[in-house]
Structure 1
Amino acid sequence: MKKTAAFNELIRKVRKDLFSKGPERIHTTFVDNMAVTMLHGNMTPTEKFIASDPDGKDMVHAARTKMIQKAYTTDFTERLEQLMGTKLVHLFSDMKVEEDIAISVFVFEDNIQEP
């Protein structure tokens, strides 16, 4: 399995485990020591309903970004580092609730690339 496909599958699994629904589409690009991942179709029907209200939109955004940050402090980080062959040093994550698009930038200690 190509590294990008394995990386995307790992990202999909952790998000499915966290939110009971994984993203419908994931696109990852490796650049130097970063993996830039764009995720489409993330929200559950309940989150979409909550986000239909302006206050609810902020709640969904805050909950998702906090949960993602927390997830990467678990054994998931070890599996990610094992796959990439280098240590994860930073994770930046954000979501545009209105369009149901999330982006994560994984910053690793060493350069990574698709073999």
Structure 2
Amino acid sequence: MSRNTEHQFSMLVREIRKEFVGNGPKEITSRFIGTWAVSEMKGNLTNIEKFMLNSKEGEKMVHEARTEFVKKIYNDPGVRKRFEDLIGANIERIFSDIDIESDIAMTVFVFDKPLPSKE
């Protein structure tokens, strides 16, 4: 059950990123650990964002946009409900960051009860 739910969770993360950001990550892996769902995403940046990385100011803008905008996406009640309906638990907190140089983003969703364990 857990592997399938982890896969569905990853697909939902991709779908939401694509819907709000315009493209989803090229590769995504989600794992459930206790009350946490940890999603690692590779290949997140758009061509425009990659171009912006040619300057320090551009790097800062891309990082801020990718972290702050993603937090706002996940604070949307409709978005949260989609995750909560899939998991059957409420989101308590979300932590998100991106390493611009390696184009790897991590989001940790903290739920109010343990997630399905591996079987």
Q: What's the TM-score bracket when you normalise by the shorter of the two chains?
A: over 0.9
Q: How far apart, CA to CA, are the structure 1 residues paired with 2:56 and 2:75?
A: 30
1:85 is aligned, of 83, 88, 94, to: 88
Match of 2:97 in 1: 94
With the length of structure 1 as denominator, give the TM-score of the two structures.
0.95
- What displacement does 1:65 show? 0.7
- Map residues 32-111 of structure 1 onto 2, 5 A cutoff: 32-74=34-76, 75-111=78-114
Deviation at 1:5, TM superposition (A): 1.2
Cα distance in structure 2, aligned partners of 1:43 and 1:96:
11
* Misfit runs of 4+, over 6 Å: none
Alpha-carbon distance between aligned partners in 2 of 1:25 and 1:4, rounded to the nearest angstrom: 14
For structure 1, the 5+ residue unaligned runs are: none
Give the partner amino acid of 2:82: R
What is the TM-score normalised by the length of structure 2? 0.92
Distance 2:13 2:105 in 1: 12
Q: Distance in 1 between matches of 2:59 and 2:70?
A: 17
Give the equivalent residue in structure 2 for 1:3: 5
Number of corresponding residues: 115
RMSD of the alignment, in Å? 1.3
- Identity over aligned residues, as a percent? 37
The aligned counterpart of 2:26 is: 24
